[in-house]
Structure formats: C-alpha cells, structure tokens
Homo-oligomer: A and B are copies of this chain.
Amino acid sequence: MFKKQMVLDDVILFRTGKPFNTTAVIKEITDDFDNSEDFPYFEVKEYENYYEFVYEMDKDDYVYGLGEQLGALNKRGKEYKLYSTDDPIHTPEKGSLYGSHPFAFIDGSKKFAFMIDFPGEIVFDIGYTHKDLMTVKVPSKDFDFYLFDIEDKYEVIKKYLELTGSPFVPPKWSWGFQQCRWSYPDADTINNIAESFRKDGIPCDAIYMDIDYMKDYKVFTVDEEKFPNFEDFAKNLKKDGFKLVPIIDPGVKIEDNYSVYEEGKENNYFCKDKDGEDFVAAVWPGLTHFPDFLNKEARKWWGEKYKFFTDKGIYSFWNDMNEPSIFYSLKGFNKLVEIGENLRGNEDMGIKSFLAKEQMFDMANNREDYKSFYHRADDGSTVNHDLVHNLYGYFMAKATVEEGFDNIIPNQRYLLLSRSSYLGHHRIATIWMGDNMSWWDHMLVQMRMLQSLNMAGFFYTGADVGGFGSNASPELVIRWMQLGAFTPLYRNHSALGTREQEPFAFDEETKDIMRDIIRLRYSLIPYSYSEYMKSVSELRPFIKPLHMDYEGKRVKEIEDQYMYGDSIMVAPVHTQNAKGRFVHLPGDDKWLCWVASKYDERKMSIYFPGDFYVDADLNEIPLFIKENKLITISEPMNYVGEKEIEEITVIGLVTDKAEFTYYEDDGETKDYQKGKFAEALITVEKEGNEYKFSVEKDEHENPETGETYELAIKRIKFEIYDEHGNIIENTIEI
C-alpha cells in the first residue's frame, strides 16, 4: 500500500510504511499524503516481504541511470544488484560496485524517471531475464519511491537535485593533475615525486597518501619514523603548490591506549553485534571496530578527528574502505579455520575442492557478516546493518563534512573523495570510481560511468587514470592520460606490486607526450572551471551523454564520446595500437575539430555532421568544439594559482553568434556563495562577413563586506574560425 504526495511539480513521492530517514532528500516532506490507488507506468506486485515493480519496455526504449555501475551506458540487458561492495575485479558481469544510486531514466515511447530511496539491496533486472521487461525488486515494505513524470532529462536531473541538493564544489586546484600510488612509503619518496614533477616541468597539484603513511594502519595517525616533522613536510609541499591528500579508513584498530579506539569504545561509538558487543571485523590494521556513522554522536566525534590534519593545512581527503569493506569477521575466520582443520586426510576431494575454495573466498564482504551488526540511529532506534548497508560511506562523508569541516574549516573548500556513496552524497563530497584495472576496456568503463554518475549528480568525478590494478603499457597510460584530461577528477593511481605509472616512469617520448597532455589540461582550466561553476548553479550535468542533447537512436548508441561542458565533445582513442577512431558528429551543427596534442599547437579542421574515421596519433586526442560555442584557454602553470591568469584565448567556430561566460573566484573558500566572484560575458557575433567581438564584465559585490570581486584577466585574445576554416583574430584589453 502506497500513499502519495506531489513533492515538486510532476515529482510524486509514493511512500510505503515508515522509511528509514536516509537524508538523501533534503527537501522537506510534509505529512500531507493522499492515498494512492494507482501507480503510473509500473505494474506493482506486492509480496509478503517485498515489492516488485514491473515495466514493459518497447523495443526501442533506452534505460539510463544507476550511477556507479559497470557495463553499458544504456542499462538495458543486465541485472544490477544495488548493494555496495568492495569488489576489486571489475569484470562486466558484476552488478554491484562501491556505491548505490537507485535512480533511473526511461527514454523511449514513454519518458520518465524514478528514484527509490531505500538503503538496502535493490535488484534491477533490466531486460536481462526477458529482454523487454524491467523488474525492480525492493525487499522491504518501508521505502520511498519518487516518480519523475517528466520527459526532459535535464528537467528530471534539475528536480532530482532540488530534492537531493546541488553538487558540491571542490577547490579550483582540484582541476589540476593529481598523482597517487599505493603507496609512497615515506616523506622522502613523496618529496622526490614532487621534485620530479617540477624538474620535468610537468604540472601537478596534489599527491595522495595511501594507507602506508599511518602507524600500523591506525586511522588519524602518521608514522613518525617515515614522516618526521609531518607538519613542516606538508607546509613545504604546499609552498611548492602540492596539496597532500591522506586516505582515511573507517576501521579503528583494536589496540589498548590508541586514543581513537579508547574513545570509541568508551562512548559506544562503534557498531554492535547482536549481543551488544562492539562488532569485530578485520581490515588493513587487523582486527578493528567500525564507527557507527548512522549515529550523530559518533559522527560528531569522528568529524572532529579530521582536525588532526586540517590544523596542518590539509583540507582534502579520500575516505576509503567504507562499504564497509570486511576482509573477514571473526565468525568467517573461525569457519575458515574449521575448513582448514578438516582438510587433513581429505585430499581426495576432486570437484569438492571448488566448494572449499569458494567458502574460503566468501570470507570477505560476506552478506552474513553485514547482517550480524547493528547501528543506533539518530532517533535512538537500533537498525540492522543489512537494511541500511548502502548508507555507510555516505554517512561517513556526513561525519567528515557536516560534523567535521562545517565546524572546523567552515569556509574552506575541500576535495573529499569517498569510495562508497548513496543518493545525496554528491551534495557534500564525491567519489572516484574505485579499483579499476590497467585494461583498455576500462577506459570505456570510465567514460560510461562518468556520464552515468553525472546524471546522478556526481558532476566532479573520475577514475584512476592508467588503471589501478594490473600493469600498464606506456601506450595505455598515454591514451588514458588523454581521456583523463577530460574528466573532472584527473588522478593517476596504481596499486602495490604493479608497474609505476607516474609520467617519469616511462621512456622520454612517453614522458614528453604526458607533459603535453597535462599542460593542455591546465590550459583549459579557464574553460573547465567556468563551465563547472555554471553547471552547478544551473543544476545541469557538467559531463553530458550525447543523448542528453540530441535525439534519435543513432545518438543513443554513442557511449564513448561525451560533452565536456557545453562546448567540447571529447572522442578519446581507447583502443590498443589505434591511430584514430570512428566518431559520430550528431545534430545539424558543424564542429571545429581540434586533434590536440599541445595546447599551443592547434591542428584544426571543420566537420559537418555524420560518421567519420578521425586520425589521432599516439600523442593526439580528437576534440570537437560545437559550432557557435566557445572555449577559453590560458598558458599552463606548474599548479593551479601559481600565477594570476591575465590573458585568455577564446577559440571557436562562429557562423552566427557565440557566447561564453568566463568565471573567476578565489578558488579556495566558499565566499563565492556570498557573491565574491566575477564573470566576463564574451560574445562573438558574425554579421554578414564581419565579426564583432565584445566582453562584458560582471564583477559581483559581496553583500556582507561590500567589496567588489575584480576580474584578474586583463586581455582576451580571439582565435575564431569561419566555416571555411579561415582564422579571424582579435584582442580586447579589459
């Protein structure tokens, strides 16, 4: 039985029972419900303990959404199990990853979307069992089902973000290049890495600290032997433009006199087992307890812990292992011991040995373990973890931000990556795409996921460039660095035991190509940052699948090209040994093609809509600038903010009129929210054979201080192409 309420225009909430308050939705829901007799679009089947929603798809229906999932952008043809998990092998059949985002779009003969706010497992069978049926199973009688009875996908997303909150804005430096490795084991190594970047003239803004910086993997500690004078170390790096980003794991090592453990234990901040004892699970440090992030007191305690770092000028973090990942529980371990002990004398197992192996492997991230511990929710009730499983990473982020940063660094922007997430997480933090592999296929995985995640509100995200697990060839890393340059989070990361992937880990030519692509990335930041701030304020994805902007079944098949901002369509080469690729140019407009290698070498040509094979040598990535749209570039720097940007160059193919809003703020604080930012409206207009150029400043006043934020740019150069490929140049001093 459902009751219903119109929560926004054409957004209807169907509620059954008493849903757990996930805080995914921040818009207030009143008690003003109507009884619901019918349910649009779906056949609703009620069973004893669960509901099934069945939708009959037309042959040409496309299904989008589900955020962080492997496989095609069009979700049809697979079964997805939304139960967040730390699965390190991203093979195509997997139906769960780290985050759960039950929000989907139907785009076909009927067009609508729906979001299910339920934090336990939801199963989406989308044309898998029967190719024309979508069946969604929610194993509960207490949840919220939001129906977006809206055809336009942009409008759906806008409403979704009005419900769940607008995407968070990381500092401007987070558009710089970021380097990671599991692990740089000590301060010397990190200093050497930093030095190599500067020595080689390769821009870089951040270096990550993976688990080995901690003392015995104890969260909120630093190993002082490996990192003596940690505060100075961090400050010196910062002077040189490097932000340090430490990893934070939830599992608290069980160790007497370790203050985090002692405080958590004393105050009952940890999750409990069925007997009320602190739940024990093994992760990196060995046996640990899990903080109960669903509990406000525990969140508050945890959030304040970040002060350890923020006091040292470190404001950015990656919260890891927060599905939560469990290597094993004591129960699982004991079962394993038993299996082990029963082996002796049973060597003639044959096929049964598979079963034993399976049992051994089931020890990790085992559903039975998730069912065996409990939370104390904010309202005082006790909740079994399994029913709220998908919330753990999101509530860890809430602890970090809402109970931490909001108090200790309230006006500071931060970059907060999390591995696990839920609906609403995008409002306060973001995610990276977890432990991918150095596989060519995983570049396509990243492109698809990037588009899906943007549709779920995660505008700023990215995958481990070059691939985390497995070994990367130089060619793979080059091609991935090109793709990564057109993803908001641009982080190269690789795992213990795999080949090093830093730009200087390869031959000279490879390094040179990587330097060029990173410098191209930096030169585009005036464009990227302006477009990102616009997309957040307008609640329109920054990365857009082509099907968001164009109609027709041809366009809906394109999953390896996407809009990066509103002006650039990217078509990365993602095939081994390829020296080019097929590209579909949609719509009726022409495209200015830039086969880009260096920011200051512009190999441009004009394309009409259609299908093409475009050459792109190993050092090149094909970019397509939309007709009558503009991009802005500047000289690259060693790191974001090294120098003020005083000059930008505006590039575009203009046949009529093109506008671009260039955006500036301090890049570090939240003052922009109070008006401390400035814009320049750049216009290029063709009238007959004449081009008119104009720039209109919009320098905002901070209502609190009365100060005006002044634009730093002084000079705008124009490099405009007409439809014959002729260049029209101009410069405006402002």
A22 at the interface (CB under 8 A from B): no
User: Contact partner of A93 among B437, B474, B578, CB < 8 A?
Assistant: B437
Q: How far is the CA of A309 from the CA of B130 in the complex (A)?
A: 40
Which of A127, A340, A341, A360 has most B Cβ within 10 Å? A340
User: Contact partner of A350 among B285, B334, B612, CB < 8 A?
Assistant: B285
A683 at the interface (CB under 8 A from B): no
Number of identical protomers: 2
Which of A327, A350, A474, A584 has most B Cβ within 10 Å? A350
Q: How far is the CA of A348 from the CA of B287 in the complex (A)?
A: 5
Which of A339, A343, A470, A554 has most B Cβ within 10 Å? A343
Query: Do the beta carbons of B92 and A439 come within 8 Å of each other?
Result: yes
Min C-beta distance of A441 to chain B, whole Å: 6
A557: chain B residues within 8 A (beta carbon): 575, 577-580
A42 at the interface (CB under 8 A from B): no
Min C-beta distance of A77 to chain B, whole Å: 5
A353 at the interface (CB under 8 A from B): yes
User: Contact partner of A77 among B333, B473, B580, CB < 8 A?
Assistant: B473
Query: Do the beta carbons of A92 and B441 come within 8 Å of each other?
Result: yes
Q: In the complex, what residue of chain B is closest to A351 when comparing beta carbons?
A: B284
Min C-beta distance of A72 to chain B, whole Å: 4
* Residues from 278 to 306 in A contacting B, C-beta threshold 8 Å: 282-287
User: Contact partner of A282 among B330, B350, B360, CB < 8 A?
Assistant: B350
Q: In the complex, what residue of chain B is closest to A59 when comparing beta carbons?
A: B618
A474: chain B residues within 8 A (beta carbon): 130-131
Given A337-B343, A611-B612: A441 and B441 interface contact (C-beta under 8 Å): yes
A476 at the interface (CB under 8 A from B): yes
User: Contact partner of A340 among B285, B337, B437, CB < 8 A?
Assistant: B337
Min C-beta distance of A284 to chain B, whole Å: 6
Query: Do the beta carbons of A351 and B217 come within 8 Å of each other?
Result: yes
A347 at the interface (CB under 8 A from B): yes
A91 at the interface (CB under 8 A from B): yes
Q: How far is the CA of A217 from the CA of B584 in the complex (A)?
A: 54
A76 at the interface (CB under 8 A from B): yes
Q: How far is the CA of A287 from the CA of B352 in the complex (A)?
A: 12
Q: How far is the CA of A580 from the CA of B470 in the complex (A)?
A: 33
Q: How far is the CA of A612 from the CA of B611 in the complex (A)?
A: 7
Query: Do the beta carbons of A286 and B330 come within 8 Å of each other?
Result: no
Min C-beta distance of A477 to chain B, whole Å: 10
Q: How far is the CA of A287 from the CA of B579 in the complex (A)?
A: 52
Query: Do the beta carbons of B77 and A576 come within 8 Å of each other?
Result: yes
Min C-beta distance of A489 to chain B, whole Å: 24
Min C-beta distance of A343 to chain B, whole Å: 5
User: Contact partner of A611 among B62, B282, B353, B613, CB < 8 A?
Assistant: B613
Min C-beta distance of A412 to chain B, whole Å: 33
Which of A347, A553, A575 has most B Cβ within 10 Å? A347
Min C-beta distance of A675 to chain B, whole Å: 46
A438: chain B residues within 8 A (beta carbon): 93
Which of A77, A354, A584 has most B Cβ within 10 Å? A77
A340: chain B residues within 8 A (beta carbon): 336-337, 339-341, 343
* Residues from 9 to 43 in A contacting B, C-beta threshold 8 Å: none
A334: chain B residues within 8 A (beta carbon): 347
A77: chain B residues within 8 A (beta carbon): 473, 475-476, 576-577
Min C-beta distance of A503 to chain B, whole Å: 14
* Residues from 489 to 513 in A contacting B, C-beta threshold 8 Å: 507, 509-510
A71 at the interface (CB under 8 A from B): yes
A residues contacting B by CB (< 8 A) are 62, 71-72, 74, 76-79, 89, 91-93, 127-128, 130-131, 217, 282-287, 327-328, 330, 333-334, 336-337, 339-341, 343-344, 347-351, 353-354, 357, 360-361, 437-441, 470-471, 473-476, 507, 509-510, 553-554, 557, 575-580, 582, 584, 611-613
Q: What are 5 sample pairs from A and B whose C-beta atoms fall under 8 A apart? A: A78-B576, A91-B439, A282-B348, A327-B349, A328-B353
